[in-house]
Amino acid sequence: MRHALHVLTTAAAVLAASSLAPQAARSAPSSVAAVKASCREQALRCYDVRQVQRAYGLDRLHRAGIDGRDTTVAIVMSPSEMLADALGAQSRRFGLAPARLTVAEPAGDPGPAAGLAGAEGALDVQAVHAIAPRARLLYLAVPGAAVDGNVMADQALARAVDAAVAARADVISMSFGAPERRYPAFRAALARAARAGVPAFAGSGDDGVTTPGVRGQTTVYPAADPNVTAVGGTLLTLDAAGRRLAPDVAWGPDVGGASGGGISHLSPRPQWQRRLTGATGRGRNYPDVSMLAAGSGGFIVFFPGTAAPIANVSGNSVSTPMMAGIAALARQRAGRPLRNVNRAIYRLARKPVRNGIVDVRIGSNSFSDALDGRLTDGHLITGYLAGPGYDRVTGLGTITAPRFVPALARAAR
């Protein structure tokens, strides 16, 4: 699985043609209103920061002072030169607190920020900032080859995770993945982070039960690691104020892909999934929980200095850093590190309404590559169905923050 970023407005062609090189482009939307108009022309929905905050109840938490202050979210990703400018544009447009951003290179010089990789980083930081606007952002830049393609760089990613723990980050966000392998150094670093009370979040994939360039069903790492909370994707249907017009459904099959899910062939099913209706097989099932990711209802972000300065994007590179932001809010509310986050989430799901977990019962992660610009042969790759309780499409479901955040703060010990 490559970077989980899909740019979906008319800016898509411009981005692909320009590789995000600085230039003017008349066809690219240059305001939030223009992006939304472009979405409507394509029969898509796209949502800005305020709509997303309202949809998940974050506006209520922010007014109560639960906004990520005194927490740090570490983001592991390839280098990007537009981070500060993108955060500044987002903050000014939506009245967010100025972002506090630190960039480090834990594996040495990561090289240049080329192509969509630079956009991926800009998306990640803006997604966290939208959810937890006063959280500190620690951007751990690793070489693009470490996270792009079907084999990741084991040692570089281990160093990045260890650097996050050493810097006393509270949460780690990883919007990348590849077909599951052992990755001994990376896997050991994630276990150390879990023991240190630094929860890690990773995308479950953007291609249902498969991976581009790999035949048949595949499982995705690090999402399949039991020391990681795997984040899937949903489609939201909101009005202009961010109010739901319909229940959330699973992402897929859809423009841009489908929520990833599967059963690990390396990690046994953990105790917190043992008696779970919907989880099957001997391996760790994923994802665990889901947030906004669908191409038909994407998230508006800023790419300053590029041919598409504002664009509608989708993928689990939206849902993953958003969920990391939710964890930062819970960390602030708890006043202590969040430990055993996966065990806590599954315990909370026993009383979902009280604890802010919303079951997603409609949809699937079957994936028609005819809907995705990367492939053209039109195959439908059959995945799993969403349904009552746990499923390998959206996990336990999605969240409503005013209940989920305090519940996670209490339970993650």
Average pLDDT over the chain, rounded to whole? 90
Least confident of 47-56, 139-148, 266-275: 139-148
Q: Give the rounded percent of residues in the chain with a pLDDT score beyond 70.
A: 90
Q: What is the pLDDT of residues 60-78, one digit of tens each?
A: 999 999 999 999 999 999 9
**Residue 58: inside a domain, yes or no?**
yes
Q: Report the amino acid identity of residue 256.
A: G
Amino acid, single-letter form, for residue 114? A
pLDDT in tens, 350-408: 999 999 999 999 999 998 765 544 444 557 788 999 999 999 999 999 999 999 999 99
Q: Is the residue at 398 inside a domain?
A: yes
Q: Read off the pLDDT of each residue in 341-348 and give the average, rounded to a whole number.
A: 98
pLDDT: which is higher, 380 or 292: 292
Residue 198: inside a domain: yes
Q: Is 283 contained in some domain?
A: yes
Q: Give the mean model confidence (pLDDT) for residues 209-236.
A: 92
- Per the structure, the complete domain to which residue 106 belongs is given by 6-411
In this prediction, residue 5 carries a pLDDT of 46
Over residues 173-205, the pLDDT tens digits come to 999 999 999 999 999 999 999 999 999 999 999
Instruction: Report the C-alpha dihedral over residues 128, 358, 54, 321, rounded to 10 degrees.
Output: 10
Q: Is the pLDDT of residue 293 over 70?
A: yes
Domain containing residue 89: CATH number:
3.40.50.200
Mean pLDDT, residues 278-298 taken together: 96
Kindly state the average pLDDT of the residues 218-228: 97
What is the rounded average pLDDT of the residues 263-284? 97
Q: Which residue has the higher pLDDT, 224 or 23?
A: 224
356 belongs to a structural domain: yes
pLDDT, residue 7, reads 43
Model pLDDT, residue 377: 53
When pLDDT is cut at 50, 70 and 90, the band that residue 27 belongs to is: low
pTM of the full predicted structure?
A: 0.93
Q: Is 53 helix (H, G, I), strand (E, B) or coil?
A: helix
Q: Kindly tell me if the per-residue pLDDT of 25 is higher than 60.
A: no
Distance between CA atoms of residues 221 and 151, nearest Å:
10
DSSP letter string over 87-142?
HHHHHHHHTPPPPEEEEE-TTS------THHHHHHHHHHHHHHHHSTTSEEEEEE-
Residue at 1 is within a domain: no
Top-confidence residue, 389 or 213 = 389
pLDDT in tens, 104-133: 999 999 998 765 658 999 999 999 999 999
Q: 3 pLDDT exceeds 80?
A: no
How many structural domains are present in the chain? 1
The pLDDT value recorded for residue 367 is: 83
In this prediction, residue 53 has a pLDDT band, given cuts at 50, 70 and 90, of: very high
Span of 28-32, 164-168, 265-269 with lowest mean pLDDT = 28-32
Alpha-carbon span 88 to 278, nearest angstrom: 43
Is residue 54 in some structural domain?
A: yes
Mean pLDDT of 9-14: 32
- Confidence band, pLDDT 50/70/90 cuts, at residue 20: very low
Report, as an integer, the average pLDDT of 336-344. 98
Tell me what pLDDT residue 8 has.
Answer: 39
Using a 10 angstrom Cβ sphere, with 0-12 exposed, 13-18 middle and 19 or more buried, the burial of residue 191 is middle
What residues have CB less than 8 Å from 186, skipping those under 6 apart?
152, 154, 155, 157, 158, 161, 222
Q: What is the pLDDT of residue 44?
A: 93
Per-residue pLDDT of 233-258, as tens digits, reads 999 999 999 999 999 999 988 777 89
Whether 365 is covered by a domain: the verdict is yes
Q: Which one-letter amino acid corresponds to residue 93?
A: R
